[in-house]
Amino acid sequence: MALNRKDFFKVLGVTGVTLAIGKEAGAVPKKEESIEFKGILYDSTRCAGCQTCESACAEANGLPSPTAAIEAGVIRNTDEVHRTVVNAFNSSKGETYLKKQCMHCNEPACTAACLTQAMYKTKEGAVIWRGDKCMGCRYCMVSCPFDVPKFEYHSANPKIEKCNMCYSRLGEGKIPACVENCPAEALMYGPRRDLIKEARKRIVENPDQYVDHIYGEHEAGGTGFLYIAGVPFEELGLNTSIQKESYPSLSKGFLYSVPTIFVLWPAILLGIRESTKNNHLKSDENE
């Protein structure tokens, strides 16, 4: 079958249109399209350090209820039974609190690191862990700049524990347990875009109350969990020297070089082999 240029473009056009329309015609009105990247905004100035979020989180996720009380200057960390903790800091504006949990990065290092897609960034924005895929290599822990994923070292069937933004509750139409139960309204759940607007509004309206920075807007390439506070973030134990680019971008260069090497190396090696084929004739004379 001879195909001239005109016919070729006709075929191409028809195929393209079919693909485009076919997809649209076949699909039911998609729910995903209406789903926006969701996140949580935490306002440190409103947080009273009541630890309600900690108990609500433990209850919602079937973890033992936390018993340790907050003490200023003593840093508690999340671990395999605590997905979130609140710490108190003696800052320049007196005792200030800060909640800690997974940051739900826009481009998470853990999901880029995971070789089985067990760490997974959902389309809603939450970063979740899928046990049926995970092989427990803990590369996510090595890669996460916030040290969030935790591992059950004393179990024969260990899990990776981390905040998943109450992903199963979100599916039921509820909001994350910590947000729902915060009595001081320090936490707010919603589309990330709206949260940034709200954070800006609060900062602009009360310039004396807030520092002019939304932690997580650009940190690590942007995160789903956002912070605003009344004191500089380094006083609250947050890593402020963290890079603005996403962490997966660090290994992109290497990964991009892989196909190049896979194509070039065999060709180069074969070429060298051809050119050295008769070398042994010369070396025999020398030996």
Distance CA 109, CA 142 (A): 9
C-beta of residue 186 within 8 angstroms of C-beta of residue 43: yes
How far is it, in rounded angstroms, from Cα 186 to Cα 196?
15
Least separation, in Å, of the C-beta of 99 and other proteins?
18
- C-beta of 18 vs 77, nearer to other proteins: 77
| Residue with Cβ nearer other proteins (15 or 240) | 240
- List the alpha helices (DSSP H) in the chain: 5-26, 52-60, 109-113, 139-143, 167-171, 177-181, 192-205, 249-275, 279-286
Q: Which is nearer to other proteins, 62 or 254 (CB)?
A: 254
Least Å distance between CB 239 and other proteins?
7
Closer CB to other proteins, 45 or 111, in the complex: 111
- Dihedral of CA 91/93/99/100: which sign? negative
| Residue closer to other proteins (CB basis): 105 or 187 | 105
As a whole number of Å, the end-to-end CA separation of the chain is 63
**Contacts of the segment 63-68: beta carbons below 8 A, 24+ positions apart:** none
Minimum distance between the CB of residue 168 and other proteins, rounded to whole angstroms? 20
Query: Closest approach of Cβ 151 to other proteins, in Å?
Result: 6
Q: How far is the CB of 83 from other proteins (least distance, A)?
A: 13
Binding site for other proteins (CB under 8 A): 77, 79-80, 109, 111-118, 131-139, 141-143, 145, 147, 150-158, 239, 241-243, 247-248, 250-251, 253-255, 258, 261-262, 265-266, 269-270, 272-273, 276-277, 279-280, 283, 287
Cβ 217 to other proteins shortest distance, Å: 19
For residue 85, give the nearest of 104, 58, 109 by alpha carbon.
58
- Residue 262's contacts (CB-CB under 8 Å, 6 or more residues apart) are none
**Nearer CB in complex with other proteins: 25/267:** 267
How many residues belong to the chain? 287
